[in-house]
Amino acid sequence: MRRALWLLAGWAVAAAATPVVDYPPVRPGVAVALPADAGAHPDFRTEWWYVTGWLAGPDGGPLGFQVTFFRTRATLRRDNPSAFASDQVLIAHVAVSDPARGRLWHDQRVARAGFGLADAAMGRTDVHLRDWSLSTRDGRLQARIAAEDFGLTLTLEPRQAPLYNGRDGYSQKGPAAGSASYYYSLPGLAVHGQVRRGAQVLAVTGSAWLDHEWSSSPLDEASVGWDWVGLNLDDGGALMAFRIRDREGHVRWAGGTWRAADGRVQVLAPAEVAFTAGRRWRSPRTGIGYPVQWHLAAGPLSLTLTPLMDDQESDSRQSTGAVYWEGAIEAQADGRRFGRGYLELTGYGDRLKFR
C-alpha cells in the first residue's frame, strides 16, 4: 500500500486549487540518522512505518501480517487556531493472511491528528490512531491493533542493524534526482505476541521487517505501477528490491539493497534488478489480474517468489482509494527455501483512481 499511496500522489494534493505549502525536498547527501529519524517528519508530504512478517502458532500453519501507519500532510495553512486544524492526516491499515482459513483479515482507520486521538511523535517511532499503535519501548517496537473481528499484539525485537537503502538512506525512485525518498529498513525483527481471530487467541512467534520512509515527491507523473519485495533471508541476510512501471508496463526505474549474511551491503542499481511475472491470479471481487508468481533477479541472487495464498488483495478505497495486492511470499533458490517476506503489487487495475 505504500507505493499505492505514492502512486496516488494526488491523494493529498491533487484537487488543491492552489498549493499553499512548500514541502521540503529530498536531497542526496543528507543521511538518515537514527534514532532521531525514527520519528515523524511532519513537514514532508508523506511518511510511513510499515511492518510485514510471517507468524506461526505453537502447532498451527503460517500466517502473514502487515501493520502500516501512514502520515500525510495536507496543503493547509497553519494559522487556524482551532484544535481541529491539524494538517497531519494519519491512516492505519492492518491485514492478516490466513491460508488455513483461506481468508484475509483486514481493517483500516483514518484520522486527522489532534486531541491526543491520533498522532505521530517526532524523534522516536510512536504513532497511534486511538487504540491502534506502533510504539517503541526499551528498544523494542510494539504493535497493538484491535480491529473488529481480529487483533494483533506483537513485540518486535531488532536483531540486526538498520539497513539504509540507497545512499545512506537517500533512495532514488526515478530518473530525476528529485524523485526520491528517505528510506531505511529494520530487517530480521524477532516477533512474539498474540493474534486474535474472532474469539480465538493464538500465541505466535515469527520474523518481521519494518520499513520507514518519507518523502515529498517520490514519483514523477509517468510512473503508474510499482512492484516491491522485502525478504528476510534464511541465512541471516536481507533483500529489498523494487521496480516502477510506466503506463505501457515498461520498467521506468528499479533498485534494491542486499545485505549478505556476513553484513556486507550492496546497493542495487536499476540494471541489477529484474522482475519477471509468472502465474496470474484474477480477483473475483475487482476483476483485476495480478501476477502472483515471480522470478526475481537481484544482484547475484536468482529467486522464485511464491505467495502464501493467492487472494491477498486489499481494497482500501474507503481510506486511500487504492486497490492492490500485498501478501506474504516465500522465496526459493534452486528449488529450496531461501527466505520469507512480503510482496506488494500496485497499479494493476485499470489505473488506480480515487473517486
Partner 1 sequence: MRPVGSAAPSLAVFGAQLRDRPLRLFVSIAAIAVGIALAAAVYLINESALAEFGRATRELSGTADLAVRGTKAGFDESLYPQLATRAGVRVASPVLAREAALVGGGTLSIEGVDPLVAAQLRPELYGDLAGRYVTLLEPDALVLSAAAARELQLAQGGTLALRVGVGERTLRVVAVLPEGATTRRVGLMDIASLQWLTGSLGRLTRIDLRLAPGVDASRYAASLVLPAGVDAMTPALEQTRAANLTRAYRVNLDMLALVALLTGAFLVYATQALAVMRRRRQLALLRALGVRRIELRLAVLLEGAAVGAAGGLAGTVLGWLIARLVLSLQGADLGAGLLQVQTTQVATPPFALAAFIATGVVVAVAGAWLPARRAAEVAPARALKAGDDDAPARVHERVALALGLLLSGAALAFVPPVRGLPLGGYASIAALLAGGVLLVPAFVAATLAHLPSPRAPLAALVLARLRLSIGQSAVSLGAIVVSFSLMVAMAIMVHSFRDSFERWLGAVLPADLYLRVTPGADTFELTPAEATLLAAVPGVARLELRRTLQLSLARDLPPVVLIARPLEAGAGNLPIIARATVLEPTLPVAYVSEALHDLYGVPLGGSVELPVAGRKVRFAVAGIWRDYARSTGSVIVDLASWEQLSGERRNTEASVWLGARATAQSVGEAISARLHAGDALQVIESGALKDRALAAFDRAFAITYALEAVAVGIGLLSVVLAFAVQALARRAEFGMLRHLGLRRAQVLAMLAGEGAFMGAVGVAYGLLLGLVLSLVLVYVVNRQSFHWTLDYVVPLGQLLAVALTLVAAAALTAGLAGRVATSGSVVRAVREDW
Applying CB under 8 A, the residues found at the interface with partner 1 are: 8, 10-17, 74-77, 80-87, 89, 110-112, 115-117, 130-131, 148, 317-318, 321, 354-355
Q: How far is the CB of 15 from partner 1 (least distance, A)?
A: 4
Identify the DSSP state of 354. -
Q: How far is the CB of 109 from partner 1 (least distance, A)?
A: 8
Q: How far is the CB of 61 from partner 1 (least distance, A)?
A: 29
Q: How far is the CB of 86 from partner 1 (least distance, A)?
A: 8
- On whether the CB atoms of residues 346 and 352 are closer than 8 A, the answer is yes
Residue 57 vs 321, nearer CB to partner 1: 321
Cell numbers that stand for 76 in this block: 493547509
Q: How far is the CB of 240 from partner 1 (least distance, A)?
A: 29
Q: How far is the CB of 70 from partner 1 (least distance, A)?
A: 12
Residue 10 vs 61, nearer CB to partner 1: 10
Residue 200 vs 318, nearer CB to partner 1: 318
Residue 112 vs 167, nearer CB to partner 1: 112
Cα–Cα distance between 15 and 10 in angstroms, integer?
A: 7
**Dihedral sign (CA 244, 276, 104, 200):** negative
Position 211: which residue type? Answer: D
Residue 11 vs 258, nearer CB to partner 1: 11
Cα–Cα distance between 315 and 312 in angstroms, integer?
A: 10
Cβ neighbourhood burial of 300 (10 Å; 0-12, 13-18, 19+): exposed
Identify the DSSP state of 114. B
Cell numbers that stand for 354 in this block: 480515487
Number of H helices, E strands in the chain: 2, 25
Cα–Cα distance between 147 and 109 in angstroms, integer?
A: 9
Residues paired with 314 in a beta bridge: 324
Q: How far is the CB of 350 from partner 1 (least distance, A)?
A: 16
Residue 85 vs 177, nearer CB to partner 1: 85
- The contacts of residue 200 (CB under 8 Å, 6+ apart) are none
* Helix or strand holding residue 244 (H, E): strand 238-246
Q: How far is the CB of 312 from partner 1 (least distance, A)?
A: 23
Residue 80 vs 302, nearer CB to partner 1: 80
DSSP string, 115-178: TTTEEE-SSS-EEEETTEEEEEETTEEEEEEE-SSEEEEEEEE--S--EE-TBTTEEE-SSSTT
* Helix or strand holding residue 3 (H, E): helix 2-7
Residue 264 vs 355, nearer CB to partner 1: 355
Q: How far is the CB of 173 from partner 1 (least distance, A)?
A: 22
Residue 31 vs 85, nearer CB to partner 1: 85
